[in-house]
Amino acid sequence: MYEVLVVDDDFMVAEIHRRFVDKTPGFTTVGVARTAAEALESVRTAHPDLVLLDVYLPDMSGLDVLQRLRAEGNAVGVIMITAAREIDTVSRALHGGASDYLVKPFDFTQLQEKLENFRRRARALESQSGADQSLIDSLFGGKGKNPEPSRLPKGLSAETGRLVLDILRSKGELSSTECAELAGLSRVSVRRYLEHYLSEGLLEVRLEYGGAGRPVRRYRPAPR
């Protein structure tokens, strides 16, 4: 479970963001801060895994909050949440160490994709198998040698699709239930991604026969 601090001076907006976070499997809100001072104190005391940080705060810019956190050596994940579209603001967020940037207004699906992207990177960094080129490419946004479909059917997101593929590539072979548990998603949702990537030739399937009932479909990456 990843713990998230929501930072926004607008009470209603902060509440919406809190609900979005708590609605996402594998994420929970540990606090809401209205000012930069509250945000800094909450990060130091609550030790969240991720901060949803607004740029425009009454006492200090969210970008300055980010700068202070990094100056203190705090590597907490930060997604900038703001109405600011100016390229210099985006550039400062990027170079200041923000892991992502989301422009208001946004819907639940857009935030969920950002959270899934954070989860994917966090799990990759927790890997005990070392960093090969495909892992490095995934962390830095590259595709490396892993083939990816250019488009997904309606209702499927690219970020969640990459999460499912990354889990399979790290584990080798999984059933849809096992993959769903690792991804923090529903089995029905994960099954849709697995079947799509199977049809694209990115995955192979093996039927595992056990006791009574249907055989279990076990998915694995197709040889490259």
Question: Does the pLDDT value for residue 58 go beyond 70?
Answer: yes
The alpha carbon torsion through 25, 26, 31, 35 (nearest 10 deg) reads -80
Express as a percent the part of the chain with pLDDT over 90. Answer: 37
CA distances from residue 223 to 4, 145, 164, 200, 205 in whole angstroms, order as listed: 38, 12, 17, 13, 12
Q: Give me the mean pLDDT over the 190-210 stretch.
A: 86
Distance of alpha carbon 75 from alpha carbon 5, whole angstroms: 14
**Domains in the chain, please, with CATH?**
1-138 (3.40.50.2300), 156-219 (1.10.10.10)
User: Is the per-residue pLDDT at 39 higher than 70?
Assistant: yes
> Does residue 162 register a pLDDT over 70?
yes
- CB-based burial label for 132 (10 Å; 0-12, 13-18, 19+): exposed
In the predicted model, what is the mean pLDDT of residues 77-88? 78
Mean of the per-residue pLDDT values for the chain? 83
pLDDT score recorded for residue 127:
60
Half-sphere exposure (Cβ direction) of 33: Cα atoms closer than 13 Å: 30
Q: Which of 81-95, 127-141, 209-223 has the lowest mean pLDDT?
A: 127-141
- Averaged pLDDT, 44-61: 93
Segment 12-26 mean pLDDT: 92
In this predicted structure, the answer to whether residue 147 has a pLDDT above a threshold of 50 is: no
| pLDDT reading at 37 higher than 50 | yes
| Least confident among 55-69, 98-112, 138-152, 184-198 | 138-152
Average pLDDT over residues 165-172: 84
